[in-house]
Amino acid sequence: MPAYKKPVSVLVVIYTADLQVLLLERADHPGYWQSVTGSQDEGETLFDTATREVKEETGLDAENFELTDWHIQNQYEIFQEWRWRYPPGVTHNTEHVFGLKVPGDIPITIAAREHLSSIWLPWQEAAEKVFSWSNAQAIRRLGSNQQS
């Protein structure tokens, strides 16, 4: 049996200068759209986790683009259906938000075991489409920061 996940993760909002946001549809939950997410492995920095997850889920090398730590942390309850992945008794996860600015809606290669499809949407539509409140909040923050 694989090791339990650490209840610390990253959320990476991938976006363009004109605020198109990349969303991925979860393979294990069709209809659930999200930005890149993933748990931190032992010994990794959060930046390393963000870079690894972007590569695994999109094929993009984050080091070739503008990856920034937004210094936002969210704590949320782990969905019951996914708690088996964590140590017994763990019910909450701490998520760290990053942004990855890319030059345009560039082609990606999705990880078939994790995602069914991808789409680039204007930030307002992306914020409405994601299933996670923290993902929607991060996308809205991106839009409001760029508008001011």
User: What are the binding residues for substrate?
Assistant: 5, 26, 37, 132
Dihedral sign of CA atoms 140, 37, 4, 69 in order = negative
Token digits for 42?
């032992």
Q: Which residues define the annotated binding site for Mg(2+)?
A: 53, 57, 114
Q: Which residues define the annotated binding site?
A: 5, 26, 37, 53, 57, 114, 132
Q: Determine the 3-state secondary structure of 138 from DSSP.
A: helix
Token digits for 14?
């991938």
Residue pair 6/39 in contact by the 8 Å Cβ criterion: yes
